[in-house]
Structure 1
């Protein structure tokens, strides 16, 4: 074979075949225009859409058939488990479940619901519901908004229990405070034959009531109505809550309501609105409340308020989550006006009460009810029937200290920070101008500090502490009297003018135990000191205190108004187990030195004091007999006790003997008194005369 015949074919010889392959591939993958009529081209597409629609319709029919024949009771188990987990206790459904989904307003019905109690509350169920029916709008639900058309509860029976430890069987999240309930708008809320039993050991209340809630037709009543009846502390209780029409309730439109609550003789009326129905954590209302005693509100509110005379108050009550607030509080408590603001913060271990209160004019006897005493029950005085009876018993028994027991459970149930000011005070045993106090309560420890009472001259200030954390309450007080005047505190006149004038200071420091004022003073320990560092006394009165008959009567008959200095006056009492014994009573005037001793028994509320005057110079006619003050504290009898005449003389020795304790007690009253007052000079004089006392200079060294 030649070389030419052995060579492979050239590219030119293969070109026609390649071009043929490329053409066939191009024709295969190139889309040819559909030259069929448009009607023929749409037929396959329509057939596909028809098949898809048919499948969807068949699926809808199948689902509808399944829903129609489905046994919804299959969901009882999952529903019970979910509810039990949410409520932290066993929830069972013994009846049937019915669901109607073929509506723009689907309906669900559940029969035979039982909610168990926590273990500590026993085996009796906390609540049962015979039937629960709910109807809801479907369209808002698609947008995440719940709009209830119907919420109907048939024969609910609930037993709510709070024990002495503060545990509550309706607390579904022990250890934390859940926010207030926020329900969606409900157009038709129905409770048929509801029964509610409530027992609270701490608040000492029992309530058993029947509840009906229904929307009645008619022009006069087209809204929601909730009524309940029962008893609280043996007194009848009734609650009526009415709301506006529920038709077309919207989430962004306020829902109005009225409240009428009667618990015994306590009456509460209010009208208000829920800004976002039905968010129960936010609402406001204008309320009025009246009753015989503010302390009676504890079972209703859980807030421990002090005992008071009959009251009538009004204000604007609002709630924002855990904060309850009363703005514009005004009205009367007893015969005193009261105004201010207060708030109660819940959602903590103990509710916290904060208040700023004031009175333009305080009737002093209204304060007695705060300590368990009774206000005056005479003509023109405001007091309940029980308080008037208690006042009559105190008068008949000649008693000063009330024995009304203190309910320490209420004090332990809350905390407080309250300030109070009285611009003026009237009807006082001694003249008072104004007063103020700040009271703080923390876990059973109450402290009134600072406490201040303004006198026409001077003031009383200090603090009082009540510790109710232990088994028996313990009370301690420390009060100081400063810059006062004798004539203001002892407002008596003698021949048209005060028999004595001068400065007066003092201090009382006592502590006792007991659940009433009477028991506290009956166990009191401490001391009380009153000092008159100087002043003047009518000479006639001074001579009579020394029982200088001739000189004293002569000055009286001549209506002599001359005075003599009060060089020093001291009364010092040591209190032990309710008995205050005077180890030093001294009144040193120009002509007479008066000394004495005795005791005040706070247990029996009686006194037995004796003072004896001793002339400093020779008197031709005098009878040296003690002057006594005996009897009940409310009405002591002043007289003289005949006794043998004492030899004249020994004045310096008497001064030294009686003033020895004075050097020790003056710093207890006023650190600067021993140096600046006449008492200090008297101590120095007694020391120069040989009395065993220390001067302020010696004491300082």
Structure 2
């Protein structure tokens, strides 16, 4: 073949040769290249350091720093492990010990360590942290032993530095929270509460993808205590979304249930919940709440509770206390020297015996009445001993521990044997002084109004009472009738002004000084009863037996007492009727709750038969017994002969004939003689005048 003259080219001749890789440092100055190289070397050194670093070297510095911040010894006695290679780094500390503050040993010599933790592990997300959100994917505490202590002055070992002991707990959002085999002891000597128990917390499988459960059980002041808090799944928890929870607490007879939301997990200073509380006595809530609440019969109340920092609002409260309904609103402010409670409460129907519990007395315990087991025992003891004034000790330390302002109104009142229609009271508690001003009881006719002041700033409180009964009616308080006709009618007025010292109603009454005055300026009484005031046996008994409704006027009646060291002694005791003038004397001993009266009457008209025998009224205040003074009857032939004279011949009755020499009593004079500070009115002989202070 002949040559074509074609030239064959190789691949090397066609494709250009590859360029050498570009030097990233090309164009940089030598100084810049040295700087970048040094930085990379430093990063490599840090990485190498972290790989080979023993984190236990930091246990001492961390412990010393924490000790300085917490003002008590902090020691990491076990390993300190850190896993930094993640966007959610993790740290673990073993055998962590936190000591008690220096003052704790003076309060409890067996205080030991404040906290001991076998292991604590925590994990934190880095990226949300850059935006200011703290999210912990994992927090576990294994076998913690925690001893919390607060002294009577409010100093608490969980207070660090200048922080307040009642500052709300704020935790970050925790997506997995575990407490294993925790032991907790809370000794709160300010509230008089002691809890010893166990605590566990973990996520549990179940409906709706599982739930978080925090449980505690043990004893609170020797009563069984059980608490459980359940919440929604923690996995998707976010600081920007409310976290739902349910809670159930039982401490002895007290039960609390709640269903609500933590507004910003886990900031326990902001939440709202529908709350229900029941128990044997509101006063027992002190151990759980720190609030000084009154003694009451068994109760059950509910409402909407909202917490915003130091303020708790209990809105639309409703329920029952004893046999009385209750409704209203209240709020509590904490973070102060003393908690402050303000409430506006009302009852549509108040069962009057429920008020007795406020003063330490047991409520009624008959059929249909509401009372706790303990109150039934107290009522039985009261009835057995025939004691009226309760001996329940006033807890003065609790009264000094909070301030309050409460208004209460009862629209209607159930008060058998009393013409009571309404009750109202305005209560102020400030710095250990409790004032009820005014306290008002509205009867079907008339009012009882006044002021009560209890000064509990000392261990032996002082009580001042000043109350007045105005424009009431005798027939409302003495409801005895025959053939539908009241035995006695008329206006009655009264005033009691007393001062006593003691830490119970009975002890305060036993030391009382002051005055008590009752006045009936005008009225009507069945003549039969008026005759019996003079023990006119023939006339009075005949009228009674014949059921006579014949009346005679009550021109005036005055009972004026001087009170000294718990003993009421008569200054004036006179009842002036149209047919008999009765005068008496006697005492009411509030120390022993016994009365001793002697009343002698003299007929204003000549009577053929007149038993000149004074009436006596003696015995326990709750069950006095009337009788006749036998010594006087004996002087006239003996009491048996006197009573027998009703059927003996006329000659045997002659020694008992009276000539009717008694004159009308001067009512205006009698009232004037009664001390002006005791007498609530100034009256003319037969007509009431204007009230006088």
Q: TM-score range by the shorter chain?
A: 0.7 to 0.9
Unaligned runs of 5+ in 1: 1-38, 682-695
Given the alignment of the two structures, is residue 169 of structure 1 paired with residue 152 of structure 2, yes or no? no
Match of 2:55 in 1: 72
Secondary structure of 1:63's match?
helix
Once the two structures are TM-superposed, the CA of residue 434 in structure 1 deviates from its matched residue by: 0.5
1:181–1:610: structure 2 CA closer, same or farther, 3 Å change rule? Answer: same
| Cα drift, residue 638 of structure 1 | 1.9
> Counterpart in 1 of 2:46?
63
Map of 2:382 onto structure 1:
394
Structure 2 residue 521 is matched with structure 1 residue 533: yes
Alignment-derived partner of residue 132 in structure 1? 120
What SS is found at the alignment partner of 2:677? helix
Counting matched residue pairs gives 644
* CA positional deviation for 1:329: 0.9
Counterparts of 1:211-610 in structure 2, within 5 Å, are 211-219=199-207, 222-553=210-541, 555-556=543-544, 559-610=547-598
Q: Counterparts of 2:286 and 2:245 in 1: how far apart (Å)? A: 24
Q: What is the alpha-carbon distance in structure 2 between the residues aligned to residue 525 and residue 44 of structure 1?
A: 103
**Superposed CA offset, 1:560-589 (max 9, x none):** 434332221100111111111112111112
For residues 95-114 of structure 1, the aligned pairs below 5 Å read 95-114=78-97
CA–CA separation in structure 2 for the residues paired with 1:100 and 1:680: 93
Moved more, 315-324 or 105-114: 105-114
Mapped partners of 1:40, 1:69: distance in 2:
38
Q: Secondary structure at the match of 1:247?
A: coil
Q: What residue is the counterpart of 1:28 in the other structure?
A: none
TM-score (ref. length: structure 2): 0.87
Matched-pair contact (CA < 8 Å) for 1:117–1:169: yes
Whole-angstrom CA distance in 2 between matches of 1:409 and 1:219: 48
Please tell me whether the aligned partners of residues 666 and 673 of structure 1 are also in contact (alpha carbons under 8 angstroms).
Answer: no
Preserved contact between residue 348 and residue 411 of structure 2 (Cα < 8 Å): yes
- Is the partner of 1:383 in helix, strand or coil? coil
Shift of 1:119: 1.6
Distance 1:332 1:420 in 2: 14
**64, 74, 90: which one aligns with 1:91:** 74
Q: How far apart, CA to CA, are the structure 1 residues paired with 2:685 and 2:328?
A: 44
Once the 2 structures are TM-superposed, how far is the Cα of residue 549 of structure 1 from its aligned partner?
3.9
Distance 1:556-1:45 versus aligned 2 partners, 3 A rule: closer
In 1: Cα distance, 2:458 partner to 2:325 partner: 35
Structure 1: how far apart are the matches of 2:175 and 2:21? 56
Find the structure with the greater CA-based Rg: 1
Q: CA deviation at 1:181?
A: 2.5
**How far is 1:431 from its partner?**
1.6
Query: Counterpart of 1:640?
Result: 628
Distance in 1 (alpha carbons) for counterparts of 2:156 and 2:416? 46
- Partner of residue 200 from structure 1, selected from 179, 188, 197: 188
Q: Greater CA deviation, 193-202 or 525-534? A: 193-202
Q: What is the CA-CA distance between 1:554 and the residue it aligns to?
A: 5.3
Unaligned runs of 5+ in 2: 1-18, 106-110, 637-655
1:331-369 CA-to-partner distances (Å, cap 9, x unmatched) read 111111111112211101111111111111111111112
- Give, in whole Å, the separation in 2 of the partners of 1:149 and 1:646: 105
**Retained in 2: the 8 A contact 1:187–1:249?**
yes
- CA distance in structure 2 between the partners assigned to 1:260 and 1:477 by the alignment: 43
TM-score of the superposition, structure 1-length normalised?
0.86
Give the C-alpha shift of residue 621 in structure 1.
2.9
- The structure-2 alpha-carbon separation of the partners of 1:263 and 1:176, relative to structure 1 and needing over 3 Å to count, comes to closer
User: Which stretch of structure 1 is more off in the superposition, 310-319 or 659-668?
Assistant: 659-668
CA contact (8 A) 2:497 2:678 kept: no
